[in-house]
Amino acid sequence: MGKVFVGRTTPLMRYNQDPMIILSGGTGTPKLLAGMRKIIPEEDMTVIVNTAEDTHVSGNLVCPDIDTILYLFADTIDAEKWWGIRDDTFATNEALRKAGRREVMRIGDIDRTTHIMRSELLRDGYTLTEAISELARRFGIGATILPMTDREVATHIATPDGEMHFQEYWITNAGEPDVLGIRIHGIKDAAPSDAVLAAFDNDDRVIIGPSNPITSIGPIIRLQGMRGILRKKHVVAISPIIGSAPVSGPAGKLMHACGYDVSSAGVIECYRDFLDTFVIDSDDLEISTSSGIGGVEIVRADTMMTSVEKSVALSQRVLDLF
Three state DSSP letters for 158-204:
EECCEEEEHHHHHHHCCCCCCCCEEEEECHHHCCCCHHHHHHHHHCC
- The reply to whether 218 sits near ligand GDP by the rule CB under 6 A is no
Span 79-118, contacts to ligand GDP by CB under 6 A = none
Q: Which is nearer to ligand GDP, 10 or 248 (CB)?
A: 248
Q: Which is nearer to ligand GDP, 168 or 204 (CB)?
A: 168
Span 195-214, contacts to ligand GDP by CB under 6 A = 210-212
- The reply to whether 60 sits near ligand GDP by the rule CB under 6 A is no
Pairing of β 181-185 and β 205-208? unpaired
Q: Which is nearer to ligand GDP, 52 or 97 (CB)?
A: 52
Binding ligand GDP by CB under 6 A: which of 158, 197, 258, 304?
A: 304
**DSSP H helices in 40-179:** 64-73, 91-98, 109-123, 128-138, 166-167
Q: List the beta strands (DSSP E) in the chain.
A: 20-24, 45-49, 55-57, 60-62, 144-147, 154-159, 162-165, 181-185, 205-208, 234-238, 241-242, 245-246, 277-281, 297-301
Instruction: Spell out the residues 6+ positions from residue 129 whose beta carbon is closer than 8 angstroms to its own.
Output: 146, 147, 150, 193, 194, 195
Distance of CA 175 to the CA centre of its chain: 18
Q: Which is nearer to ligand GDP, 35 or 192 (CB)?
A: 35
Q: Which is nearer to ligand GDP, 96 or 173 (CB)?
A: 173
The span of 12-20, 157-165, 229-237, 247-255 binding ligand GDP (CB under 6 A) equals 247-255
d(CA 146, CA 215): 17
- The reply to whether 27 sits near ligand GDP by the rule CB under 6 A is yes
State the first-to-last Cα distance of the chain, in angstroms, to the nearest integer.
Answer: 29
- The reply to whether 131 sits near ligand GDP by the rule CB under 6 A is no
- The reply to whether 31 sits near ligand GDP by the rule CB under 6 A is yes
Q: Which is nearer to ligand GDP, 204 or 310 (CB)?
A: 310
Span 154-173, contacts to ligand GDP by CB under 6 A = none
- The reply to whether 266 sits near ligand GDP by the rule CB under 6 A is no
- The reply to whether 246 sits near ligand GDP by the rule CB under 6 A is yes
**C-alpha torsion sign, points 283, 288, 290, 291:** negative
Q: Which is nearer to ligand GDP, 219 or 228 (CB)?
A: 219
CA atoms within 13 A on the CB side of 278: 31
Binding ligand GDP by CB under 6 A: which of 44, 54, 65, 78?
A: 65
Where on the chain is the footprint of ligand GDP (CB under 6 A)? Answer: 25-29, 31, 65, 210-212, 216, 238-240, 246-249, 251, 303-305
